[in-house]
């Protein structure tokens, strides 16, 4: 299951020409740039992100105002982040 999800994510990314991804787990939201081509990652069941931002879901803004900047203060960042694919609930490629 994990290998297939990694393969699908990298395949969609390549097909669409998009490397930015948003990932949701049960408790966290990640935003970053996919790193690698997916071959090594497929074998270990992780996605590697660069320049990642991490939020706790309970801290994500829900105000709905246009131009909202609330989330800007509530994230932490990581130059490199490895995400365990088995914990992913949803993902979206971002333009």
Confidence band (pLDDT; 50, 70, 90) for 22? very high
Nearest residue to 2 via CA among 49, 36, 46: 46
- Whole-angstrom Cα distance, residue 82 to residue 50? 9
- Whole-angstrom Cα distance, residue 69 to residue 82? 26
- Per residue in 68-78, pLDDT (tens digit) is 776 666 788 99
- The yes-or-no verdict on residue 85 having pLDDT over 80 is yes
Q: Where are the domains of the chain?
A: 2-60+68-94
Tell me the CATH number for domain 2-60+68-94: 2.30.30.100
Contact (Cβ atoms closer than 8 angstroms) between residue 19 and residue 92: no
Mean pLDDT of the chain: 85
pTM beyond cutoff 0.75: yes
Contact (Cβ atoms closer than 8 angstroms) between residue 54 and residue 29: yes
- Whole-angstrom Cα distance, residue 32 to residue 1? 22
Stated as kind and residue range, the H or E segment containing 19 is none
- Per residue in 34-72, pLDDT (tens digit) is 998 766 666 677 889 999 999 988 877 777 777 777 666
């Amino acid at each position: 299951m994990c290998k297939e999800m990694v393969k699908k994510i990298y395949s969609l990314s390549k097909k669409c020409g998009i490397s930015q991804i948003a990932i949701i787990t049960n408790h966290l939201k990640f935003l970053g740039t996919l790193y690698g081509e997916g071959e090594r990652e497929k074998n270990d069941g992780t996605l590697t992100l660069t320049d990642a931002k991490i939020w706790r879901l309970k801290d994500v803004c829900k105000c709905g105002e246009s131009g909202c900047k609330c989330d800007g203060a509530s994230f932490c960042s990581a130059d490199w982040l490895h995400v365990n694919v088995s914990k992913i609930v949803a993902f979206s490629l971002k333009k």
